Structure 1
């Protein structure tokens, strides 16, 4: 495999490969990278010494690990704390949709219950029974709920954290697992305060009081105060939900970040950009393998057998970003508008549509040439990839912009329908 490069050009090509690889990942924040530093160093070493087979194998191995990395999140708390709504918010589905956790019912969690993410097969959220029940006494709780299986615990409360929950946190720490305290329903607390003190109401002051009350609980129990996240399960961007997600991404193993970032609901443009960057890295690594195996630069070539794969990729991106046909139909139904009205503001549903004067292959070739002419950001050293990968970048960019347009449209519709001033 190392003989793919001629003796006269091998060092120069290898230098370009290493330079391109390093330059691309250098511009990505550490907490957003989907490949570990150890893998990056090994890949660079393989390319430097001309062992192309080694570099190719390492990248393929990294991509496989990233794509299949399991993520198990445990959610626990007392009945009525909003666990089910929190789980539904994390997996991005409504309470009446298939696969949702039941909301507003009598506590039925007598055993741990799993909820699979509808778009990310490797992500599972586990609704755990409350600690201290007859079937789950504190001393055996962690063993009973199989604590070793989870990447981290989220302890949810709608009032104050109980002594049992604090004891659980102590035990989790002893087991060297991460845990996070989440105070839910703060939107209801803020609204109740606004109604009762309409003249003197101060939103930030109210939130600080809720935070202080939670901190006091830990102080009274002689515990180090952990980060406490104040959230609303129905207004994800309005409180600490974005900060919680940032923290989870940062604390997760690097190979698990990719799928977790893709699992996030599109509640802010920053989240959409983060998902875009994660997928872009994945495409870039796949494209890098192709360039490593190539004996010459291949630009803007779209082969017949690439078309179906490209269609599949486009549909996959649309689904991940919530702009696929099924998601748009649900959105239109929620806002009681024709789905065609929603699709009018989208570009991705029309990317592969053709007319009589132009075949799909010709249209894809035009896209490929257009993206290839503006590749400085993706390929900082002038390295070229085949048209297939340029098209994936183009599809991803288009879908990302559609997700932002849809988010703005949703906010405008929600604001116009709001009963609050």
Structure 2
């Protein structure tokens, strides 16, 4: 696929890549970027100076942080506040499923319990006993639960926040970490305004600044402030940890599906840039997938996207059971399981060529200037778009039955 270029041509291509790279990332809001702004700026500088190899290594470094950066979330609150249900909801695990946090189990003395996310290996939720369980000062509580290991704390309450919890939040902030107040079991109350006023008064009565308080129902994450809470957590996380946290979210709204799509698209395009700059669109054997390794890589990637967007067989079985729709019916309305089959009305090659044309005209990124990457990167983007649309189709289908 590659071509040899004159020095002038190489410089032009590098300039095009720098301008298209800049255009793409300028269109992404800071809180949605999956690598830190300083790394993005250094990549731009390297490309502008023609230091392609340097840019290559900086992209590798940025992606490496994403793949291996651990995310540890501490969830605390009094017994009965709904910590287990909250963690299950964020992990996308039903209370009866294997690996679910056990709801209603009495807390034991100062024992913290880790729960790995079933799909994101780097993400761990830690269920901590409430500070009131031991009735000790915040300083000693934080030492006991190994404060330094967590990215942030979520403090839950089913009624009102106790003074010890307010003091704990202050101690956490003084140590330079974020904590979030979440009022659970909102579905049991009459009005949101009454609940919020009740929570706010707790802070006022203790002469404390009123923080943002998130009202949620663990039984229905689509209601109340749960989406606002998630947006806040994503915004406050370091850039290199956002990607995997976004991918961990339950596929319960089209907004979440779109967010996952944008994050994955960034990741794929960064990988494409890392792989190197190629020339113009190749016209011969563009879609020859006779290479066994190449085809196997595509199968693995497609399966990975299906798992992340809830389209794997196990997820479809759960969805079918919850929505009381036959799993065969769900499989009939999605396209991604058949992407690597060539016996359909149009071949993968024909679909791919249409996609390249559509992507090149619709995006202000690397394709806008006529720069092209290896075909496997386009295919991954095509797979991602198809899986994203399938996830939305399933949401519409299943919610229409409820």
TM-score band, normalised by the shorter chain? over 0.9
Give the deviation of 1:363 after TM superposition: 3.2
Q: 1:338 aligns with which of 326, 330, 333?
A: 326
Give the deviation of 1:105 after TM superposition: 3.4
1:140-190 Cα offsets, whole Å, 9 max, x none, are: 10000000010000000010001111111111111111000000010121x
- In the alignment, is the contact (CA less than 8 A) between 1:302 and 1:388 conserved in 2? no
For 1:165 and 1:34, locate their aligned partners in 2 and report how far apart those are by CA, in whole Å: 32
For 1:411 and 1:13, locate their aligned partners in 2 and report how far apart those are by CA, in whole Å: 48
1:207 aligns to what? 192
Return 139-148 or 302-311, whichever deviates more.
302-311
- In the alignment, is the contact (CA less than 8 A) between 2:78 and 2:133 conserved in 1? no
- In the alignment, is the contact (CA less than 8 A) between 1:302 and 1:364 conserved in 2? no
Give the deviation of 1:237 after TM superposition: 1.3
SS at match of 2:125: strand
SS at match of 1:373: helix
For 2:109 and 2:368, locate their aligned partners in 1 and report how far apart those are by CA, in whole Å: 53
Give the deviation of 1:383 after TM superposition: 1.7
Alignment of 1:318-337 (within 5 A): 318-337=306-325
* In the alignment, structure 1 residue 231 sits paired with structure 2 residue 231: no
Return 102-111 or 398-407, whichever deviates more.
102-111
1:391 aligns to what? 379
* In the alignment, structure 1 residue 316 sits paired with structure 2 residue 304: yes
SS at match of 1:73: strand
Return 258-267 or 345-354, whichever deviates more.
345-354
- In the alignment, is the contact (CA less than 8 A) between 2:109 and 2:133 conserved in 1? no
For 2:102 and 2:5, locate their aligned partners in 1 and report how far apart those are by CA, in whole Å: 59
Q: For the structure 1 residues 243 and 134, does the alpha-carbon distance in structure 2 shift closer, same or farther, using more than 3 Å as the test?
A: closer
For 2:369 and 2:11, locate their aligned partners in 1 and report how far apart those are by CA, in whole Å: 15
1:25-71 Cα offsets, whole Å, 9 max, x none, are: 11112111112211111111112222211111111111111121111
2:261 aligns to what? 276
- In the alignment, is the contact (CA less than 8 A) between 2:76 and 2:83 conserved in 1? yes
1:160 aligns to what? 160
1:364 aligns to what? 348
Structure 2 gap segments, 5+ residues each: none
1:80 aligns to what? 80
* In the alignment, structure 1 residue 373 sits paired with structure 2 residue 357: yes
- Alignment RMSD (CA, Å): 2.0
For 1:156 and 1:26, locate their aligned partners in 2 and report how far apart those are by CA, in whole Å: 37
SS at match of 1:280: helix
Structure 1 gap segments, 5+ residues each: 194-205, 415-421
For 1:296 and 1:344, locate their aligned partners in 2 and report how far apart those are by CA, in whole Å: 37
1:28 aligns to what? 28
- In the alignment, is the contact (CA less than 8 A) between 2:268 and 2:380 conserved in 1? yes
For 1:349 and 1:295, locate their aligned partners in 2 and report how far apart those are by CA, in whole Å: 32
Give the deviation of 1:409 after TM superposition: 2.0
Give the deviation of 1:131 after TM superposition: 0.6
* In the alignment, structure 1 residue 9 sits paired with structure 2 residue 9: yes
SS at match of 1:61: helix
1:419 aligns to what? none
Q: For the structure 1 residues 403 and 158, does the alpha-carbon distance in structure 2 shift closer, same or farther, using more than 3 Å as the test?
A: same
How high is the TM-score relative to the length of structure 1? Answer: 0.89
For 2:349 and 2:248, locate their aligned partners in 1 and report how far apart those are by CA, in whole Å: 32
Give the deviation of 1:296 after TM superposition: 5.7
1:246 aligns to what? 231
Q: For the structure 1 residues 411 and 211, does the alpha-carbon distance in structure 2 shift closer, same or farther, using more than 3 Å as the test?
A: same
Return 297-306 or 56-65, whichever deviates more.
297-306
How high is the TM-score relative to the length of structure 2? Answer: 0.93
Give the deviation of 1:4 after TM superposition: 7.1
Return 158-167 or 378-387, whichever deviates more.
378-387
For 2:378 and 2:372, locate their aligned partners in 1 and report how far apart those are by CA, in whole Å: 9
For these two proteins, the number of residue pairs brought into alignment is 392
2:243 aligns to what? 258
For 1:41 and 1:167, locate their aligned partners in 2 and report how far apart those are by CA, in whole Å: 40
Structure with the bigger RCO (C-alpha within 8 Å, sep 6+) is: 2
2:133 aligns to what? 133
